[in-house]
Chains A and B, each alone.
Chain A
Amino acid sequence: MNGTPVQSTLDPAPGSAAWPIGELGLVLYAGAAVILAVVCVLAISGVVAGPRRVGARRWLLTGGLVLPGLLLVALFLHALGIGHALVAHEGADALRIHVTGKQWWWEVRYEAGDDAGVLLANELHIPLGRPVEILLDSSDVIHSFWVPSLAGKVDMIPGRTTRLVVQADRPGTWRGQCAEYCGAQHALMAFHVVAEPVADFDAWLAHQARDAASSVDPGSRLGRDLFFRSGCADCHAIRGTAADGRLGPGLTHVGSRQSLGAGVLGNHVGTMAGWIAGTQELKPGSLMPSSTSLSGPELRALAAWLQGLE
């Protein structure tokens, strides 16, 4: 995908919970290397020096019980601390985002605007330098919310709400991925997290809370008419129009998103047209059918209108 943002535990974002997780990984690798080296030296020296009598009981106790015991307890406590940091930050000031896992996309809701909140899909924006509480659940099977560069993974369990706190201190866009096998298109269930300065974030959220307005020439009603005539509105909601379907992702500002189909494609008028007409080819088994009965100009008009919903 064009300019694929980073998705790697080896490249943690500064200030994020992924940083101590990455450090823990390094400690494990280094520790394992040291232990392996010591064992190798002992094994080789045993062969070189030939048979001799050793204090078996002492070796077994220190090497087999005391040393691993100390190391594992220390690592366990260290990992517990990191795990605690992932869900801590309880506070009234924390920004709250609700994310619901669905086969195979992510519904994202901000507590902003009116009671219904601000609904979007497959994309989260977070303000820099501020802890953000993400409340996770699922409407079908177990999913797992994972942005390797920002935090550890947390399962999304139907009927339960799990929590994750993320924070980023540097602007950037990171890719996240479902980390619990959830069906045929598990691999194509991705999302993006955009961290931006507070002012940009506030402007973005205010914009997302507004009604949709396509930048496409209002004189051309074809795209909009096709959206309703072709049944798109039965599954997709667009704030400010009669479209209020909830089966598929809300499309109020779909033109401003990073990806289409939960990370399947980048987002421009060409990929939009390809997605509308070739959904089942691009993401077989997804609930959205391929729209194969539109004429060429109709497909272009529909794609352009949706792209215009920025």
Chain B
Amino acid sequence: MTPTRAAGMSSLVAAGIVLGACAQSGRDAPVVARGDAERGRAALIALECGACHRIPGIPGARGTVGPLLDGYREQVYVAGRIPNEPDALVAWIRNAPSLDPGTAMPDLDVSEAEARDIAAYLYR
């Protein structure tokens, strides 16, 4: 094998790795400890989060004040600011202004358990 061909092969292999990585860009669903998606669905309905958000699977949730909450497991940042990890999302749902004073989302006085359930639903 000539040095040129070897270089060509290795760059092909590298390209293959990169492409493979791209094909897997959909992350595994983050797991929210003690979160229950079904209860989360009930909480989203009871709290009327749909007043501001469009949320798939929640009746009447067609608000356009806040962002669409579809495919949240793919989302890289929460509210465009905080890396989207379960604990960060739970903290955001509980008290958004404490994480970003510029947000329009009020502190909704959501309990820790409720926020975990909601996060589990959004990641489902």
**Interface residues, chain A, with chain B CB atoms under 8 Å away:** 1-3, 265-266, 268-271, 273-275, 277-278, 281-282, 294-297, 299-300, 303-304
Known: A296-B102, A300-B97. A277 touches B48 (CB 8 A): no
Residues of A contacting B46 in the complex (Cβ-Cβ under 8 angstroms): 2-3
> Considering only CB atoms, which chain B residue lies closest to A300 in the complex?
B106
**Interface check B15, CB cutoff 8 A:** no
Besides the known contacts A268-B108, A271-B51, A274-B52, 16 further A-B residue pairs in the complex with CB atoms under 8 A apart: A2-B45, A265-B51, A269-B108, A269-B109, A270-B47, A270-B48, A270-B108, A273-B52, A273-B104, A274-B51, A274-B63, A277-B65, A278-B64, A294-B104, A296-B102, A297-B101
When A and B form their complex, what is the total count of cross-chain residue pairs whose Cβ atoms lie within 8 Å? 73
Q: Contact check, A282 vs B51: say whether CB atoms are below 8 A apart.
A: yes
The distance in angstroms between the C-alpha atoms of A3 and B46, with both chains bound, is 8
How many residues of B are in contact with the other chain, CB < 8 A?
22
The distance in angstroms between the C-alpha atoms of A74 and B45, with both chains bound, is 47
The distance in angstroms between the C-alpha atoms of A303 and B52, with both chains bound, is 13
Residues of B contacting A271 in the complex (Cβ-Cβ under 8 angstroms): 48, 51
Instruction: Determine how close the nearest CB of chain B comes to the CB of A18; give it in whole angstroms.
Output: 28
Instruction: Determine how close the nearest CB of chain A comes to the CB of B122; give it in whole angstroms.
Output: 16
Q: Contact check, A281 vs B103: say whether CB atoms are below 8 A apart.
A: no
Which residue of A2, A296, A303 contacts B48 across the interface (Cβ within 8 Å)?
A: A2
Residues of A contacting B62 in the complex (Cβ-Cβ under 8 angstroms): 281
Known: A2-B46, A300-B104. A270 touches B97 (CB 8 A): no
> Considering only CB atoms, which chain B residue lies closest to A278 in the complex?
B65
The distance in angstroms between the C-alpha atoms of A268 and B106, with both chains bound, is 10
